[in-house]
Amino acid sequence: MNELPYLVFAGSASQNLAEKICDSLGCPLGKMRIEHFADGEFAVSYEESIRGKDLFLVQSTYPNADNIMELLLMIDAAKRASAHYITAVIPYFGWARQDRKDKPRVSIGAKLIADLLSVAGITRLITMDLHADQIQGFFNVPVDHLYGSTVFTEYIEHNIPVDNLCIATPDVGGTKRANSYARHFGVPMVICHKRRAKANEVAEMTIIGDVTGKDVILVDDIVDTAGTMTKAADLMLEHGAKSVRAFATHAVMSDPATKRIDQSGLTEMIFTDSIPYSKKSEKVRIISVAELFAESIRRVCSHESISSLYTF
């Protein structure tokens, strides 16, 4: 019988990451069954007692919508089975790009997802690199917001000479993130300013700053079609950069993203495993965040601060 006061379960979208988290915690992954019906509907059931337990439900909610629906059913089933606390561990919080009303008659998808999770019954959220920090305010439960910079800075320090670095952001919206990296390493920062013709299509891009002779690191939270990232990388090289690498937390990587990265001037593209990446590319590297999430779970259970886990 498991003596731990908590149990970790995984949805279909995050099985591999959850197994790594459990390996780090030294506990087995909880037993759960997802039954699929012919019409596409599915049902969730726990195959062990969860009464009075603190549950950590690991599931990234990238599209399609089955992933968020599966998590909602996991939460509902846990609540109805008398779980003590239900923490949603969402390494990639999907639908977060709809975080504000920027034109008339549009939805705010991130707020809707927050409401769905709250109504389903979560008591805490652990997530990483939200597309916009203000999404934390959409919840009325505690939110532990982790950062990919915790693992990225360690990788940079061990694999890339920092004396010739220059930090860059592929768009103006990522200026705060890039500035944090630049201050941490004590290096200059440049900004790419882009104008979109429409969603997922960059019409024009210019560089603000000097990259001549520099080893450039582009930082972002999400890479979707990789159009912005690869265009920025090639533009940096055209302006005299010595090399260009890119770091992004979430590998959404919709087609033709992998092909674009392979054909670009990027030396390497580094992601975390918040979203499973199954395609093959010689330039793509994956860094696991399992240890980071495992330590966060430990500290939540022992009522310790997690702020010391943040590099910045």
Of 91, 114, 146, which closes a domain? 146
- 111, 194, 214, 231: which one is catalytic? 194
In the chain, which ranges are continuous DSSP H helix? 15-25, 66-80, 109-120, 149-159, 175-185, 227-238, 257-263, 290-301
160 is a domain residue: yes
295 is a domain residue: no
> Which SS3 state, helix, strand or coil, does residue 136 take?
helix
Cα distance between residue 289 and residue 311, in whole Å: 14
262 is a domain residue: yes
Do 277 and 205 share a structural domain? Answer: yes
Do 119 and 33 share a structural domain? Answer: yes
Do 223 and 164 share a structural domain? Answer: yes
pTM for the model stands at: 0.93
pLDDT in 10s for each residue of the chain, 312 residues: 446 789 999 999 999 999 999 999 999 999 999 999 999 999 999 999 999 999 999 999 998 899 999 999 999 999 999 999 999 999 999 999 999 998 899 999 999 999 999 999 999 999 999 999 999 999 999 999 999 999 999 999 999 989 999 999 998 889 999 999 999 999 999 999 876 656 655 567 889 999 999 999 999 999 999 999 999 999 999 999 999 999 999 999 999 999 999 999 999 999 999 999 999 999 999 999 999 999 999 999 999 999 888 877
Is residue 97 a known part of a binding site?
A: yes
Token pair of 264 as six digits: 């670009």
pLDDT in tens, 189-208: 999 987 665 665 556 788 99
Is residue 41 a known part of a binding site?
A: yes
Is residue 39 a known part of a binding site?
A: yes
pLDDT of residue 1: 45
> Which SS3 state, helix, strand or coil, does residue 283 take?
coil
- CATH code for the domain in which residue 72 is found: 3.40.50.2020
Do 105 and 163 share a structural domain? Answer: no
Do 92 and 25 share a structural domain? Answer: yes
Count of structural domains within the chain: 2
Q: Is 194 a catalytic residue?
A: yes
247 is a domain residue: yes
End-to-end C-alpha distance for the chain, whole angstroms: 40
296 is a domain residue: no
Range of the domain at 271: 149-287
Do 124 and 25 share a structural domain? Answer: yes
Do 191 and 220 share a structural domain? Answer: yes
Is residue 137 a known part of a binding site?
A: no
Angle between helices 66-80 and 109-120 (to 10 degrees): 20
**What is the secondary structure of 47-61 as a DSSP string?**
SS--TT-EEEEE---
Is residue 47 a known part of a binding site?
A: no
Do 141 and 12 share a structural domain? Answer: yes
Is residue 273 a known part of a binding site?
A: no
Query: Contact 226/257 with Cβ under 8 angstroms?
Result: yes
**Of 97, 222, 124, which is closest to residue 170 (Cα–Cα)?**
222
Q: 40 phi and psi, to 5 degrees? A: 100, -15
132 is a domain residue: yes
